[in-house]
Amino acid sequence: MSVRTFLSATAALLFLFSVTGFAQEPGVPYTMHYQGQLTDAFGDPVPDGVYSFRPQLYDAATGGSAKYNSSNIAVSVTVENGLFELTLGESPLPPLYPSNLNGATAGDIWLQLRVGSDSPLSPRTKLTSVPFSLVTGSIDGASAGTVKGTLSVDDESDGIPEVAIYGGDTGDDGRIWMYGEGAFRVLIDSDNYGSMLMWNPASTSYNVEMYAGSDGGTLNLWDSDPSGFNDIALRAGIDGPSAATLPANAIEAYEIEDEPGVAREQRTGGTLLSSSWQVLDSVTLTVPDEGYVVVLGMVYGEVSATNGYNLGFVQITDWDGSSGAQPPYTQVFGHVDAPNTSPVYYPVSCQRLFQASAASNPQAYYLMAAASPSNSAGAQTRVWDPSLIAMYFTTSYGTAKAIYSSGRVPPGLEATPVQADDRGVFDVPNDLVEVDLRELELRAAKARQEALRAEMELLKAQREASTPSSPNER
């Protein structure tokens, strides 16, 4: 047979109340609860039934002297599915007195079990240091009660206490001092709301302060002198920027995840347009995660050399192919009738919202322009000083509507057909649809919540599997 053992926390609680050399306090028995599982040579639980157990405590893993139940008294124990429990110190077993552990080296108490007429189970079970609280020495001869004044703990190597527990002058507060290298290192103070101070060896003043004030908890960290400004502060009781203070340059750009970002390009000079679409400017953006990109474009349009039909088109796209106008995002400048052929200038701006994903990095966006193929003979259409700016945002606080051709709609979005105005100057695709890009964000948030819920349910199941079914199981 073999046994899998569990030492109940009940034993630890009972031992802590027992002190050598003094009468046992009422209601605090000298007992140790013990549980285990009895298995056969194949590791399977033994058949259910009543078995005879002979528990003993030894001062060595093998051999040694029996410190408890040296007469080898047996106790009948019910075993179900291999599981059993017994209590050392309860009748018919002999009482378990502190003196049973006298002379044993700390950490060298071993439990030996003999079941029936079999040889003792091997190996013996080593008990932790908790049972040694049975043989805790007295404090200045006192077995219990109140210690008034300051209680010092000293290793006697330098005459300076390592720990001092101070009860206060009026009994309404207390302090615990901890020393190192002959100086204060930690102070725990129960005065007012409670606080903790810590020193480093190179400082004469404390460098760490934690306290629970009336408005919440606070943590202050100093590099050297606490009389100056604190280098790091966290204040749970207030709102706004003052709730957290950090040193300058404490956070590098790469440490900020999913923050908004911007990219911008600017060109100078003019471009003579033709009826073919051409790229005026482009900007590239690398995004950290799912989100939105707002792209803004600006250019000055010029029409000249004819007083007849002379129009130019400007638009923003996320590809540089020649696919024609993309209303309603295509902006028009120029005239169809002018008093003369002198140059006329028009400020032109356009904007567009895109869905962004780190899986598609880098994201590229283009400012494109073309002259109308219906322009009068000799017409000159130019654009000047194009600029393009792309801004990334992680979330939307309302709808995020965008218009796509039906073949380019992000998968899974609900699309509503729309009709754009041709403004009498270009052909309008008949497959335009409107979508709300925020659906993607909400879907991703739901997926994260479901993943978190699944993780929490798994952790809950693991905790329940390891939770004892009764207070005595450990």
Where residue 346 sits, what CATH number does that domain have?
2.60.120.760
Which region among 291-305, 364-378, 403-417 has the lowest average model confidence (pLDDT)?
403-417
Which region among 66-80, 146-160, 288-302, 450-464 has the lowest average model confidence (pLDDT)?
146-160
Are residues 436 and 287 part of one domain?
A: yes
In angstroms, rounded to a whole number, what is the distance separating the alpha carbons of residues 46 and 58? Answer: 26
Rounded average pLDDT over 161-166: 77
Residue 56: which residues within 8 A CB-CB, separation 6 or more? 66, 68, 69, 70, 72, 111, 112, 113, 114
How many CA atoms lie within 13 Å of 40's alpha carbon, on the beta-carbon side?
A: 7
The answer, yes or no, to whether residue 456 has pLDDT greater than 70, is no
In angstroms, rounded to a whole number, what is the distance separating the alpha carbons of residues 93 and 55? Answer: 9
Are residues 355 and 397 part of one domain?
A: yes
Of 437 and 146, the one with more pLDDT = 437
The answer, yes or no, to whether residue 373 has pLDDT greater than 70, is yes
In angstroms, rounded to a whole number, what is the distance separating the alpha carbons of residues 324 and 277? Answer: 7
Whether the CA torsion 239, 243, 248, 251 is positive or negative: it is negative
Are residues 345 and 237 part of one domain?
A: no
Of 285 and 411, the one with more pLDDT = 285
* pLDDT score recorded for residue 10: 32
Helix residue spans in 96-210 (DSSP H)? none
Residue that terminates a domain, selected from 193, 221, 249: 249
Residue that terminates a domain, selected from 135, 164, 199: 135
Are residues 287 and 419 part of one domain?
A: yes
Is residue 279 domain-resident?
yes
* pLDDT score recorded for residue 319: 82
Are residues 245 and 210 part of one domain?
A: yes
Are residues 164 and 126 part of one domain?
A: no
Please give the share of the chain, as a percent, with pLDDT higher than 70: 73
Are residues 323 and 376 part of one domain?
A: yes
Return the structure tokens found at 226.
Answer: 């606490």
Rounded average pLDDT over 14-38: 55
How many CA atoms lie within 13 Å of 170's alpha carbon, on the beta-carbon side?
A: 3
Is residue 296 domain-resident?
yes
The answer, yes or no, to whether residue 281 has pLDDT greater than 90, is yes
The answer, yes or no, to whether residue 22 has pLDDT greater than 70, is no
| Selection from 371, 367, 396 nearest residue 381 by Cα | 371
Are residues 90 and 159 part of one domain?
A: no
* pLDDT score recorded for residue 316: 94
Is residue 124 domain-resident?
yes
* pLDDT score recorded for residue 140: 46
Rounded average pLDDT over 26-54: 83
Q: For the chain, give the longest Cα–Cα distance.
A: 125
Are residues 121 and 54 part of one domain?
A: yes
Which region among 26-30, 164-168, 329-333, 406-410 has the lowest average model confidence (pLDDT)?
26-30
| Selection from 141, 109, 115, 142 nearest residue 128 by Cα | 109
Is residue 446 domain-resident?
no
Is residue 460 domain-resident?
no
Give 448's pLDDT tier (boundaries 50, 70, 90).
confident
Per-residue model confidence as pLDDT tens digits over 409-446:
877 788 888 877 767 676 667 778 888 888 888 887 78
Return the structure tokens found at 333.
Answer: 């400048």
Is residue 202 domain-resident?
yes
Burial class (CB in 10 A: 0-12, 13-18, 19+), 66: middle
Mean pLDDT score across all residues of the chain:
78
Residue that terminates a domain, selected from 135, 162, 194: 135
Is residue 232 domain-resident?
yes
* pLDDT score recorded for residue 368: 94
Which region among 85-89, 223-227, 350-354 has the lowest average model confidence (pLDDT)?
223-227
CB 308 within 8 A of CB 372: no
Name the residue range of residue 12's domain: 2-135
Rounded average pLDDT over 78-102: 85
Which region among 199-213, 403-417, 439-453 has the lowest average model confidence (pLDDT)?
199-213
Query: Which pTM value belongs to this model?
Result: 0.47
β-bridge pairing 278-285 and 363-371: antiparallel
Are residues 183 and 108 part of one domain?
A: no
Are residues 185 and 100 part of one domain?
A: no
Q: Is 106 helix (H, G, I), strand (E, B) or coil?
A: coil
Rounded average pLDDT over 206-218: 80
* pLDDT score recorded for residue 465: 66
Q: Which residue has the tokens 């100056």?
A: 228
In angstroms, rounded to a whole number, what is the distance separating the alpha carbons of residues 39 and 382? Answer: 91
In angstroms, rounded to a whole number, what is the distance separating the alpha carbons of residues 322 and 140? Answer: 95
Q: How many domains does the chain have?
A: 3
Is residue 256 domain-resident?
no
Are residues 265 and 245 part of one domain?
A: no
The answer, yes or no, to whether residue 72 has pLDDT greater than 80, is yes
Q: What is the CATH number of the domain that holds 37?
A: 2.60.40
